Structure 1
Amino acid sequence: MINYSDIQKEVTTEITTTLGQINSNDVSVLLDEIKKADKVFFVGVGRVLLSLEAIAKRLAHLGIRTYIVGQITEPAITENDLLIVGSGSGESSFPLIIAKKAKKFNASVAHIGANPNCSMKEYSDHFVRIPVSTKLQLENEIPSVQPMTSLFEQSLLLLGDTLALMLVREQNIDMHSLWEYHANLE
Structure 2
Amino acid sequence: MNAWIDFFSHPWLKYHVCRPSYGREWMIDFTWLINESMTFYGRIKQKTDMEDMREENNAVACPAATRRTTFRNQLSCRISPETEWRTRMELCRTGTAYKQEKGYYLHQEMIWTPRKKISVWIRYTVFHTDGYESRIYAYENNFAYAFSMPAFYGEGSRLGIMIQWSFKQWRIGIRHNFFLSSQAVSSGRFPETGIQIIKEW
Question: Which interval holds the TM-score relative to the shorter structure?
Answer: under 0.3
TM-score by length of 2: 0.20
Q: Which structure shows the higher strand fraction?
A: 2
Which is higher, the Rg of structure 1 or of structure 2? 2
Q: Which structure shows the higher helix fraction?
A: 1
TM-score by length of 1: 0.21
Which of 1 and 2 has higher RCO (CA within 8 Å, sep 6+)? 1
